[in-house]
Amino acid sequence: MRLTAAQALIRFLAAQHVERDGVEQRFFGGCFGIFGHGNVAGIGEALYEAPDLLTYYQARNEQGMVHTAVGYARMKDRLGALVCTTSIGPGATNMVTGAALATVNRLPVLLVPGDVFASRRPDPVLQQLEVPWSGDVSVNDSLRAVSRYFDRIWRPEQIVSAAVQAMRVLVNQAETGAVTLAFPQDVQVEAYDFPKDFFRQRVWHVPRPLPDEASLAAAVAEIRRARRPLIVAGGGTIYSQATEALRVLCEQTGIPVGETQAGKGSLPYDHPSELGAVGVTGTLAANRIAAEADLVLGIGTRWSDFTTASKTAFRDPEVRFVNVNVADFDAAKYDGVALVGDARATLERLAELLAGWSVPDAYREEVVRLNHEWNEEVERLYTLGHGPLPAQSEVIGAVNAASAPQDVVVCAAGSMPGDLHKLWRTRDPKGYHVEYGYSCMGYEIAGGLGVKLAAPEREVYVMVGDGSYLMLSSEIVTAVQEGLKLTIVLVDNHGFNSIGSLSRSLGTDGFGTQYRYRRNGSLGVDSEESPASVLPIDLATNAESLGARVIRCKSIDDLRAGLERAKSEERTVVLAIEVDRYEGVPGYESWWDVPVAEVSAVEGVRAARTAYERKLRFRSD
């Protein structure tokens, strides 16, 4: 078939399917893009010429559209993805952050940035980077570091091998992340006689590999010896759709479960084995059990510092690890017994091998009691009645109460991810969507859009701070354009609550974390409140100007009523509410390693350093 290289790529992508457990689905749900001279005549023409192949979605910001693709892929349990096409230069480099986010979170996105002329005819073309030491560098090389696979299409026929390699990585559960096919703008439009077979419908089988029997036997021996085992459920539990297998294993063995950010929802919040969030942003229940666990069974987790409380969460000197992970890289961490395999298949096998074994009854009872006590703490924080401005925890309580079990809460950065991790009562494995691998400000609305595109039947509640909103809220326009309704809760504390309280704890008084006019050479600090210097930012009006329906809430009662009204809206709604920046949810016997200045002229910093050095002594490597 005589096609341009761009037409061939689009035709190939539209024919890709995946299959797992006998269920087959189309892999690509569409193509987001922003056109420029680097893709309008190539990929742009291909999408225009054959609109039935891939639906084109117009984004506002290239970083935002990669976030949307990530939200989509996560909601699809990595069995679906979006394509993102950009022009050359700034359009392409705007995707670097999104690509890193996808790769850190191990979520598939296909990036197709335009690239400078392969022929070099008009060098330097508009927006081309030139370096005196190399002729074949372009800004797209910055995507190499954050991609799981990168290729540059120098010739049209190269599409045939590059596209297949791209798919290999995207559907591989251990390898997946951002895949970049940099596409020189002249090659995109060049024609070639492609073999017809290249465009046949391909079904990529997503297997459920099992660990080898010797490793399983070693793991089972470790577990059977344990008196106080703990499961840490990560994102892999959910992507593998292993939550039912996890429930069965927990009920059979009595092993309790702590959840990472990506793994939250692995068990419903009220399950007797559920301890909730574990680690820095963990519950008292999970962190107490973790501290004394003699065996930790990690499932689909990459053991980030937030999960391990910077390696202080597991304090039994004899503690052993067993790691179930489809990626051997993660399975090898903590010197654990590596069970390299699919989470669901492995949990089912472990349940067979552990038949007849259970934790002591007293341990089961302790877990139920801790879970119950934690729920009371959540209830307390949901109903603080704090004034004059409400506390963020009350906002979370109101949104949780208004949402249905299958609805999805979305968040990414600021103080809310930690509070949501602790407090959100998750009732459905896909009900909690906090991007905390990269914790990228600006993911919230754009990512929420991807969630809604993947699951239009669910209400999507986007929790966004003022800082994140200011960084990237323009995909509200895309949500309005596509008729994809988001319910956005804009939690405004006029600055960076999260980093503000971190700064105070490190002795630097919230320096640089509020929105204030410069006065006497200073942007102000927390200990000197000066209402006159507050910047006049009105984000609700901003959201209105982008086409959202806006509901301004002055109290939690207002918010409750607004959330009910929002349910009958068809358009994207923004509920704006101010909260008290200083009324935070406490930590529960956990620690996060943030280094403090070793010498300082500030007394508060010196005190923080002393406390820091004391904490370091508890660290176990």
Ligand X SMILES: Cc1ncc(C[n+]2csc(CCOP(=O)(O)OP(=O)(O)O)c2C)c(N)n1
Interface ranges with ligand X (CB under 6 A): 413-416, 439-441, 465-468, 493, 496-499
- In angstroms, the CA 183 to CA 170 distance is 18
CA distances to 290, 293, 346, 432, 559 from 464, rounded to whole Å, are 30, 35, 37, 14, 15
Residue 295's alpha-carbon distances to 69, 89, 227, 278, 458, in angstroms, are: 37, 50, 8, 15, 38
Residues 6+ apart with CB under 8 A from 551: 562, 565, 566, 573, 574, 575, 576
Q: How far is the CB of 493 from ligand X (least distance, A)?
A: 5
Instruction: Name which of ligand X, Mg ion, none residue 498 binds, using a CB cut-off of 5 to 8 Å depending on partner kind.
Output: ligand X
Residue type for position 203? V
Q: How far is the CB of 499 from ligand X (least distance, A)?
A: 5
> Which residue number, 163 or 499, has a Cβ lying nearer to ligand X?
499
State the minimum distance, in angstroms, from the CB of residue 500 to Mg ion: 8
Question: Which token pair is 517?
Answer: 């006019």
x-or-dash string of contact with Mg ion, 495-534, rule CB under 5 A: --x-------------------------------------
The one of Mg ion, ligand X, none whose footprint includes residue 416, by CB under 5 to 8 A per kind, is: ligand X
* Nearer to ligand X (CB atom), residue 409 or residue 440: 440
Residue 345 interaction partner, one of ligand X, Mg ion, none, beta carbon < 5-8 Å per kind: none
Closest contact distance (angstroms) between CB of 16 and ligand X is 32
Task: Compare residues 240 and 493 and give the one whose CB is closer to Mg ion.
Answer: 493
Please, what sign has the CA dihedral across residues 78, 240, 422, 301? negative
Closest CA to 292 of 372, 377, 370, 355: 370
Separation of alpha carbons 499 and 94, rounded Å: 25
613 in helix, strand or coil? helix
Instruction: Please identify, using beta-carbon distances, which residue of 466 and 475 lies nearer to Mg ion.
Output: 466
Q: Which does 426 bind (CB under 5 to 8 A by kind): ligand X, Mg ion, none?
A: none
> Of 7 and 497, which CB lies nearer to ligand X in the complex structure?
497
- CA–CA separation, 550 and 110 (whole Å): 34
415 binds, options ligand X, Mg ion, none, Cβ within 5 to 8 A by partner type? ligand X
The answer to whether residue 468 forms part of the interface with Mg ion (CB under 5 A) is no
Q: With CB under 5 A as the rule, give the number of residues binding Mg ion.
A: 5
Interface stretch with Mg ion, choices 160-168, 361-369, 459-467, 592-600 (CB under 5 A): 459-467
Decide whether 177 or 510 has the Cβ nearer to ligand X.
510
CA distance 86 to 188: 12
Q: Which is nearer to Mg ion, 398 or 464 (CB)?
A: 464
441 binds, among ligand X, Mg ion, none (CB under 5 to 8 A by kind): ligand X
Nearest alpha carbon to residue 594 among 314, 313, 309, 315: 309
Q: How far is the CB of 95 from Mg ion (least distance, A)?
A: 26
Instruction: Give yes or no for residue 493 binding Mg ion (CB under 5 A).
Output: yes
Instruction: Please identify which residue in 419, 444, 459, 466 interacts with Mg ion, judged by CB under 5 A.
Output: 466
**The residue type at 445:** I
Joined together, the tokens standing for residue 251 give 């009920």
The b-or-e profile of 319-330 (16+ CB within 10 A means b, else e) is bbbbbbbbbeeb
Task: Using alpha carbons, list the distances in angstroms from residue 522 to 510, 514, 518.
Answer: 12, 12, 5
**Does 475 help bind Mg ion (rule: CB under 5 A)?**
no
Shortest Å, Cβ 513 to Mg ion = 9
Residues that bind Mg ion (CB under 5 A): 465-467, 493, 497
